[in-house]
Amino acid sequence: MLATRLVILGKQGAGKGTQAIRLCDYFGVPRISTGDMFRQFMKGESEIGERARKYVEAGDLVPDEVVNEMVRERLTELDAADHGFVMEGFPRNVPQAEALDDMLAPHHVDLVVELDVPTGVVLRRLASRRVCSHCGFNYSVDAPPKANWTCDQCGGAVVQREDDTEEVISRRLEQYDKQTAPLVAWYLTTDRLAAVDGEGDPDTVTRRLLRAIEGRLARK
Has 192 been annotated as catalytic? no
d(CA 179, CA 213): 25
Of residues 56-85, those binding ligand AMP (CB under 6 A): 56, 59-62, 67
Has 161 been annotated as catalytic? yes
Has 92 been annotated as catalytic? yes
Among 85, 90, 137, 187, binds ligand AMP (CB under 6 A): 90
CB closer to ligand AMP out of 114 and 163: 163
d(CA 145, CA 164): 19
Burial class for 64, CB neighbours closer than 10 Å (0-12, 13-18, 19+): middle
Which residues lie closer than 8 Å to 148 by C-beta, 6 or more apart? none
**Of 22, 161, 192, 208, which is the active-site residue?**
161
Sheet holding 193-197, edge to edge: 31-33, 84-88, 4-9, 111-116, 193-197
Q: How far is the CB of 142 from ligand AMP (least distance, A)?
A: 21
Q: How far is the CB of 9 from ligand AMP (least distance, A)?
A: 11
Among 8, 9, 23, 34, binds ligand AMP (CB under 6 A): 34
CA dihedral 109, 32, 45, 148 (to 10 degrees): 160
Has 129 been annotated as catalytic? yes
Amino acid (one-letter) located at 185: A
User: Mask 153-182, x = binds ligand AMP (CB under 6 A)?
Assistant: ----------x--------x----------
Contact between 138 and ligand AMP per CB under 6 A: no
Q: How far is the CB of 92 from ligand AMP (least distance, A)?
A: 4
Among 31, 92, 125, 192, binds ligand AMP (CB under 6 A): 92
Sign of CA dihedral 130, 201, 35, 29: positive
d(CA 168, CA 111): 30
Just list the catalytic residues. Answer: 16, 92, 129, 161, 172
Chain residues binding ligand AMP by CB under 6 A are: 12, 34-35, 38, 55-56, 59-62, 67, 89-90, 92, 96, 163, 172
